[in-house]
Amino acid sequence: MVRYLRTAVLLAVAAAYDLWQWVCGFWQVRVRHLDRRISAEVVGSASPPRKPGRIAVVAVFPSNASLPFTLNLLAALIMEDFFILVVSDRPLQGACRAALTQRCHCLIERAGVGADFGSYKAGLAWLDRHPDRMAGTDTLILANDSVFYPKCFSEELARMLSRTAVWQALFQSFEMAYHAQSSFLLFRRPIFDSPSFRRFWRRYLAYSSRRHRVLRGEIGLSTSLLRGGFELQAAYTASRFVETLMNSGSSAADLAELSPIIKEVSVRDEIFAEAVETAGTAAHLARRSPSADRGSGLGVIDRHRWIDWFAKEMEAGNPAHSAGLILNAMVHAPLKRDVCYRGGFNVFQVLRSARGFDEAELESMREDLSQRGISVSTRGVRRILRQTGRI
């Protein structure tokens, strides 16, 4: 009875919040058209691309803590000859504006409506108003600042650009429906010239609700493109993950250090226990037979089982959360900024294991993770909204 009552309360709070978000969105977008308002447009000082053909729209909502990672992304785009249009969801001042304008070709400041998908739509509308920029373009990137980009991200970007796939993303997600995660999307001309792509953006309403952005934005765009006959290619897939881990020589204890918290309960204790048991068994066998192969037997079986478990978690939900830290540690993949807030990892665990970042960036990461908070720090209605995926 208590469980049913708790579920009813969760659903009631979520429904009330959804209604409020819809009313706010309708007022902001359908009545006041705030999503179309540009408060400032600044010409950036980045060097012009050596050759045309590549454009990136980068949606930002920057802070001092997140800025270094956004600059890493912009540096990678400049290295690959992109024309960079930065779209900020809020007014910028001082050092933050100066840093961004130095790494882009145009900076737009708009009303804080619609978050990343609202900024993507505003950026695409700007490009429609400047058709000379799109002439001859064969690659379009939509990216946001929701991840910690390492300086070496240019290597992964070059890898993606070398492929012929017309639709790529860093991560694919299987939550609710198969879709490309919106943190980084790469399109070739057959995509952004297609009726499926143009129809989606013409119809999309830039409401700020997180649920709207996921269902109507991320999933909506992917569904439209999939129905249009296009196939998604993700950079960080379960198959690449398994291959990397199999070749890494990581032990069960190494996997424990990088494993997530699933459904509010950490599996790391179980992995640690099995690692200790395996080590004890190996030591016992070695004493009985000094010539025994210590890299075989239970240790290998245990390690392979946990690699298989990780791969299944990647395809059971959101891989950026379940395998985000281990992908960063193994191949320096960008790390989602909400991995602690969503309950996947602890702050100390991320700071201890994150790779590809210098000391100053790790300090900025600590500040950003602390400001965002962790799952157990949310209370009351906010905790309900987080648990139901509303915030």
Residue 367 and residue 336: Cα distance in Å, rounded?
14
The answer to whether the beta carbons of residues 209 and 114 sit under 8 Å apart is no
Give residue 224's pLDDT.
97
Per-residue pLDDT at 279: 54
Angstrom CA distances, 325 to 132, 349, 350, stand at: 41, 9, 7
Q: Which two tokens stand for residue 353?
A: 């294991």
Do 70 and 60 contact (CB within 8 A), yes or no? yes
Which of 290, 294, 255 is CA-nearest to residue 278?
Answer: 294
Which token pair is 115?
A: 């978050």
d(CA 193, CA 154): 26
Spans in the chain with pLDDT lower than 70: 252, 262-300
Q: Which helix (H) or strand (E) holds 167?
A: strand 167-169
Q: Please report the pLDDT score of residue 271 as a whole number.
A: 59
Q: Global pTM?
A: 0.89
Tens-place pLDDT, residues 149-183: 999 999 999 999 999 999 999 999 988 899 999 99
d(Cα 289, Cα 219) in Å, to the nearest integer? 57
- What pLDDT digit, counting tens, does each position of 266-302 carry? 555 665 566 566 555 544 444 444 443 434 344 667 7
Q: pLDDT value at position 354?
A: 94
Contact criterion met (CB below 8 Å) for 97 and 34: no
Distance between CA atoms of residues 148 and 360, nearest Å: 13
pLDDT at 307: 82
What pLDDT is recorded for position 280? 55
Distance, CA of 364 to CA of 341 (rounded, Å):
16
> Is residue 337 classed as helix, strand or coil in its secondary structure?
coil
pLDDT at 287: 46
DSSP 8-state secondary structure symbol assigned to residue 26? I
Which backbone phi and psi does 356 adopt, to 5 degrees? 95, 10
Q: Characterise 57 by phi-psi region: left (phi > 0), alpha (psi -120 to 50), beta (else).
A: beta
